[in-house]
Amino acid sequence: MAQNNVNDIQDHARLFHQDEYQELFKAKKEFEGGHSPEKVAEIADWTKSWEYREKNFAREALTVNPAKACQPLGAILAAVGFEATLPFVHGSQGCVAYFRSHFTRHFKEPFSAVSSSMTEDAAVFGGQLNMIEGLATSYNLYKPKMIAVCTTCMAEVIGDDLQAFISNAKAANSVPQTFPVPYAHTPSFVGSHITGYDNMIKGILSNLTAGKKQEATNGKINFIPGFETYIGNLREIKRYADLMDVNYTLLADNSEYLDSPNTGEYQMYPGGTKLEDAADSINAEATIAFQSYATTKTREYIESEWNQKTYVSRPVGIRGTDEFLMKLSALTGKPIPKELEEERGRAVDALTDSQAWLHGKRIALYGDPDLVIGLVQFLLEVGAEPIHIVVSNSNANFEGELRALLDSSPFGQNATIWGGKDLWHLRSLLFTEPVDLLIGNSYGKYLWRDTKTPLVRIGYPIFDRHHLHRYSTYGYQGAINLLNWIVNTLLDELDRNTIIPSKTDISYDLIR
Query: Catalytic site residues?
Result: 153, 157
Q: Which of residues 36-55 bind other proteins (CB under 8 A)?
A: 39-40, 43-44, 47, 52, 55
Among 19, 60, 177, 211, binds other proteins (CB under 8 A): 60
Q: Are 153 and 92 in contact (CB under 8 A)?
A: no
Instruction: Report the SS3 class of residue 194.
Output: helix
Contact stretch for other proteins (CB under 8 A) within 17-25, 199-207, 303-311, 374-382: 17-25
- Cβ contact 196:163 at 8 Å: no
Q: What is d(CA 285, CA 219) in angstroms, rounded to the nearest whole number? A: 6
The minimum distance between CB 402 and other proteins, in angstroms, equals: 22
Neighbours of 264 (CB within 10 A): 5
457 forms bridges with which residues in the sheet? 440
String of contacts with other proteins for each residue 429-458, x by CB under 8 A:
--------------x--x--xx--------
CB 86 within 8 A of CB 144: yes
Count of CA atoms in the C-beta half-sphere (13 A) of 269: 20
Q: Establish if 137 lies at the interface with other proteins (CB under 8 A).
A: yes
Amino acid identity of residue 55, one-letter, is K
Q: Can the peptide bond before residue 87 be classed as cis, meaning omega within 30 degrees of 0?
A: no
Q: Which stretch binds other proteins (CB under 8 A): 184-192, 286-294, 303-311, 383-391?
A: 184-192
Out of 77, 79, 80, 99, point to the residue binding other proteins (CB under 8 A).
Answer: 99
Handedness of CA 281, 285, 286, 287 (dihedral sign): negative
Answer for which of 19, 38, 215, 265 binds other proteins (CB under 8 A) is 265
* Binder among 38, 61, 466, 502 for other proteins (CB under 8 A): 61
Does residue 142 belong to the site contacting other proteins (CB under 8 A)?
yes
Q: Which of 359, 267, 379 is closest to 318 using CA atoms? A: 379
Number of residues lying near other proteins (CB under 8 A): 108
Q: Does 111 help bind other proteins (rule: CB under 8 A)?
A: yes
16 near other proteins (CB under 8 A): yes
- Considering only residues 348 to 407 of the shown chain, the ones binding other proteins according to CB under 8 A are none
Please give the residues from 479 up to 498 whose contact with other proteins meets the rule CB under 8 A: none
Of 91 and 317, which has the nearer Cβ to other proteins? 91
Q: Which of residues 152-181 bind other proteins (CB under 8 A)?
A: 152-154, 157-158
Q: Report CA 444 to chain centroid distance, whole Å.
A: 14
Choose the stretch contacting other proteins; rule: CB under 8 A; options: 140-148, 225-233, 380-388, 476-484.
140-148
Is the CB of residue 251 less than 8 Å from the CB of residue 290? no
Strand 309-312 and strand 455-457: pairing? Answer: unpaired
3-state secondary structure of 146: strand
Residues 68 to 97: which contact other proteins by CB under 8 A?
68-70, 72-73, 88, 91-95, 97
Does the protein bind other proteins through residue 465 (CB under 8 A)?
Answer: no
346 closest CA partner among 498, 253, 478: 478
Site map (CB under 8 A) of other proteins, residues 189-228, x = contact: xx-x------------------------------------
Q: Which of 85, 115, 206, 473 binds other proteins (CB under 8 A)?
A: 115
Strands 362-366, 455-457: pairing kind: unpaired
